[in-house]
Each structure stands twice: as C-alpha cells, then as structure tokens.
Amino acid sequence: MEGGARERLLGDEEEVEEGLGRRLWKENKKLWVVAGPSIFTRFSTFGVTVISQAFVGHIGSSELAAYAVVSTVLMRFANGILLGMASALETLCGQSYGAKQYHMLGIYLQRSWIVLCSCAFLLTPVFIFTTPLLKLIGQEESIAEMAGTVAHWFIPVFFSFVWGFTLQMYLQAQSKNVIITYLAVATLTLHIFLAWFMVTKLNLGLAGVMGSMILAMWIPVLGQLAFVFFGGCPETWTGFSFSAFLDLWAIVKLSLSSGVMLCLELWYNTILVLLTGYMKNAEVAIDALSICLNINGWEMMISVGFLSAAGVRVANELGAGSAKAAKFAIVNVVITSFVIGFVLFLFFLIFRGRLAYIFTDDAEVAGAVADLSPLLAFSILLNSVQPVISGVAIGAGWQGMVAFVNIGCYYLIGLPLGVVLGYAFDMHVKGIWIGMLIGTCIQTIVLIYITWRTDWDQQVLIAKDRLSKWYMDKSRKSNDARGSA
C-alpha cells in the first residue's frame, strides 16, 4: 500500500515538472489510440445505415419514409436501451483495466452478454408488431404498412448490436479496438458493392438492400469474437466461466441506470421525428428531417468516438487512482472535440441543402433540407461537446444522476418548448427543433457545471470502492473456468 502511494506521489511530482506541451502530447497519444479507431469504426458502421438509406431513397419515397421511421424511431428506441445498458460495461472494464484487475474484464463481458441478450429478446415483439403500433399512435397508414416490412428485416441487425456494443467497449477499454476498424472498413466496402449489385443488377429492391445490411452488421461481430477467443486478449479473456452468473443483479442495476441515461438522450431526436409525422405533408417533412439527422449523425460519429475515448480515459485514470490525470484528460478531450465541431459547423452553413441530393432526387425534399440547414449546423456545434461530457459521466459511473438531468432538461424544458413553438406558433419542424436544441443546450451547461465542481479525489475513492466490491480473486476465477471447460 505504501509503495503504491509513493508511486502515485512521484507520478504527481513528475506531472508538475513536465511542461504543458509534453503533457498534451502524452495525453493526446492516449486519447487518439482510443478515439481514432472508435471514430473510424463508427463512421463505417453508421455508413452502412446511411448507404442503405441512400439506396432505399432511390427505390421510392414511401420506402424512404418507412426506412426513416424504423431506423430513426424504432432502432433508436431499441439501440438506446442496448447501448445504454452496455455502457455499464464501459465503466467497469475501463476502471478495472486502470486498476490492473485484468481478469475481471472477461467476467464483466460475459455478464453483459447475459443481460443484453435477455433484454433483446424482450424487445423483439416491438419489431414484429411495428405496423399496428405505428397505426395506434396515428402514423399514416401507407408509411406504417411499409415500416412493418422494413422492421422485420431489422431484427437480425438489432441482435448484432448485442454483441457489437459489448465487444467494442471491452476492446476499447484495453486500447485494442484497431481490429474493429479493419473489420468495419472491410464490411463497409462489401456492403457498398453488394447493395449496388442486388439493387441495380438483380433488381431485388428493398430485400437486396436489407440483406446486404444484415451481412455487413454480422461480419464484424464474428471477426471480433474470433479475435477475442483465439488469443487477441490473453490477459483479459481466459475462457467462459460460471462466475459470469454471479452478482448479476448488481450488473443489472448499473446497466438499467446506464440504459435510462442514454435512452433519454437517443429518444430525444426520435420524438422529433414522431412529432413531424403529425404535420401536413408528413412524407416530405419526415424525408427532409431524416436526411438532416443522418448528416448530423455523421458528425455525431466523431463526437461519439470522443465520448468513448472520454469514458475510457476517465475510467482508466480513476481506476489507476490519479484524479489529476482524469481532470486533464477531460479538458483535453472536450477542447479537441469542440474545435472539430466548429470547423464542421462552418462547413454545413456554407453547403446547406446541396448535400441532400446524395440521399434523394426530390427537389421539394432538398429544398426543405436547405431550410433546416442552419439548425443542422447549430446541432453539430452543440453535439461536439454534449456527448463528450456524457462520456465523462460514463467513465465516472454517474449514469443515474445524469438520467435525472436528462429528464429535466430534455422532457420538462426542451420537448414542451418545442411543441409550443412548432404547433402554437406554427413554426412546424423548425419550431420543434429549436425548442429541443434549447433543452440540449441547458443539459450541456448543467453537466459542464457538475463536472467542473466535482471533487475528483473523491471519485477515485468511489471507483476503488466499486472495484473492490465486485472484485473476484483470479485463482477463484481460474478454477471456475476449468470447471466450465
């Protein structure tokens, strides 16, 4: 214990002696080892969805509107739950790796698989009964019918995320997510070719696009599993263990608080699409909004990459017992993401609606996109900070607290304000979006304040207590593994 305290003290003295430039260089090396592959991987994965939408958009307007509803509403709903619950793994793996409890990462991964698989089976009926559910909430009948067909194709895509989310978080906690990048690039290239071939040459239409998408989502999962099982992570994966079934309720509770936190964020934009569906000329409005949200989604992949990096850096440093390094990592990642977001903000202000023709041939839809472009640009700027602060919360294990912040800012302020501006003041989609942007801005300010006022030395003690509570002796784990073999 004394030796560890002395090492931390010497480490702090070395930080003081180092210049700012040297500290920035070292921190950015650690940051980009995680952020670079994470951003590139998310670009590729998100690219599969966007490329699918581009092909669907050239099949027909009804198909595009249905795809937009399913991918933006249904998949955000389901993925919000899965991604949120998987973020508990990000907290535990990151802090355990920082504390050098390497063998615990494999146990946490298996526990997360059990929890998320159970959750996925419970959510499957939502995809099966999409058409009656959409009709029940008042969606246009033609859109609801087509959306039901699209939703059935999305079921295997949805189940791929159970494994994809957990494996990504497990690997990036140890800075071994480069393998995910290679697999994602390969499958994105394959998807472009297969979607083009099936739609253009074989005339398979929607079935061709969705069949190609299913392959593109499952190939990286199988590749990551092979990497983990066959020696890619020798310190953290030593085989399946009965220990994965122990303390599941503790994992479920953290997963639920994580799920609520991220669901409230991801569903926020989903509500924007749902409210748009009740307006006049809903098909054009939904098409235009879905294009804007997809463009925004490209930029969000950068921010979500930094979210992952922020979570890993904060969790690793808290697990290692260094409050000072955790604070420095937070400042560095927020500034880096904001600078990139500001450049993209200017870019989208300049190009406005011209980017819409990538997704559609309809001039009316492209004009509607041009009208929404200033709001899109401001969303991009705001989203360069907000997800990164959420990543800090995940790294520190604040998911429960942030969930309450999200309820207040998003659903008690932003959403009601958006409804008033959109309907009472007849501002339509722009009014809804403005109100919801205000909610996001308030949420970001609140989280920045909380982060600034946090006692990070106390957070180190909290992380240590969490890890010691769920720690399992390595010899016991090895015996369990042999028993399960």
Tokens coding 195: 């979607």
More confident call, 21 vs 161: 161
> DSSP secondary-structure letter at 356?
G
23-30: average pLDDT: 89
pTM of the model: 0.79
What is the C-alpha to C-alpha distance for residues 402 and 311, in angstroms, rounded to an integer?
14
What is the C-alpha to C-alpha distance for residues 239 and 95, in angstroms, rounded to an integer?
21
For residue 277, pLDDT over 60 is answered with no
For residue 7, pLDDT over 50 is answered with no
- Helix (H) / strand (E) element for 169: namely helix 141-172
237-266: average pLDDT: 76
pLDDT at position 214, please? Answer: 93
Residue spans of alpha helices (H) in 173-281: 178-196, 206-227, 248-276
Write out pLDDT tens, residues 354-370: 777 777 777 777 787 88
For residue 4, pLDDT over 50 is answered with no
pLDDT band at 65 (very low <50, low <70, confident <90, very high): confident
Helices then strands, each counted (H, E), the chain: 19, 0
Contact 34, 98 (CB under 8 A): no
Tokens coding 297: 């989604």
What is the C-alpha to C-alpha distance for residues 166 and 185, in angstroms, rounded to an integer?
19
Residues in Cβ contact with 273 at an 8 Å cutoff, skipping those fewer than 6 apart = 68, 69, 72, 73, 286, 289, 290, 293
pLDDT band at 281 (very low <50, low <70, confident <90, very high): low
What is the C-alpha to C-alpha distance for residues 315 and 357, in angstroms, rounded to an integer?
42
94-120: average pLDDT: 89
**% pLDDT > 70, the chain:** 89
Q: Which of 14-28, 39-53, 96-110, 413-427 has the lowest mean pLDDT?
A: 14-28
111-129: average pLDDT: 91
Write out pLDDT tens, residues 402-459: 888 988 998 899 889 988 998 888 887 888 889 889 998 999 999 999 999 999 999 9
Is 438 part of any domain?
Answer: yes
pLDDT at position 13, please? Answer: 46
How far is residue 475 CA from its own chain's centroid? 35
Is 2 part of any domain?
Answer: no
pLDDT band at 3 (very low <50, low <70, confident <90, very high): very low
Residue position matching structure tokens 């920035």: 24
For the CA atoms of 138, 140, 145, 146, what is the dihedral angle to 10 degrees?
-130
What is the C-alpha to C-alpha distance for residues 483 and 33, in angstroms, rounded to an integer?
37
Is 122 part of any domain?
Answer: yes
pLDDT at position 18, please? Answer: 66
pLDDT at position 127, please? Answer: 92
Phi/psi for 129 (5° steps) reads -110, 40
Is 12 part of any domain?
Answer: no
pLDDT at position 75, please? Answer: 83
What is the C-alpha to C-alpha distance for residues 300 and 341, in angstroms, rounded to an integer?
9
Tokens coding 89: 């793994």
Phi/psi for 123 (5° steps) reads -90, -15
Write out pLDDT tens, residues 286-330: 677 777 877 777 777 888 889 889 999 999 999 988 899 999 999
pLDDT at position 274, please? Answer: 63
More confident call, 303 vs 483: 303
pLDDT at position 64, please? Answer: 83
pLDDT at position 483, please? Answer: 43
| Residue type for position 189 | T
Tokens coding 159: 């189940």
Number of neighbouring beta carbons within 10 Å of residue 76: 22
For the CA atoms of 159, 163, 169, 174, what is the dihedral angle to 10 degrees?
-170
184-202: average pLDDT: 88
For residue 476, pLDDT over 70 is answered with no
Is 14 part of any domain?
Answer: no
2-29: average pLDDT: 62
For residue 9, pLDDT over 70 is answered with no
pLDDT at position 213, please? Answer: 92
**Burial class of residue 475, CB neighbours in 10 A (0-12, 13-18, 19+):** exposed
The domain in which residue 183 lies consists of 28-478
More confident call, 8 vs 354: 354
Is 23 part of any domain?
Answer: no
Q: What is the mean pLDDT of the chain?
A: 82
> DSSP secondary-structure letter at 202?
S
Is 408 part of any domain?
Answer: yes
pLDDT band at 269 (very low <50, low <70, confident <90, very high): low
Contact 122, 252 (CB under 8 A): no
Is 21 part of any domain?
Answer: no
Q: How many folded domains does the chain comprise?
A: 1
What is the C-alpha to C-alpha distance for residues 170 and 152, in angstroms, rounded to an integer?
29
> DSSP secondary-structure letter at 35?
H
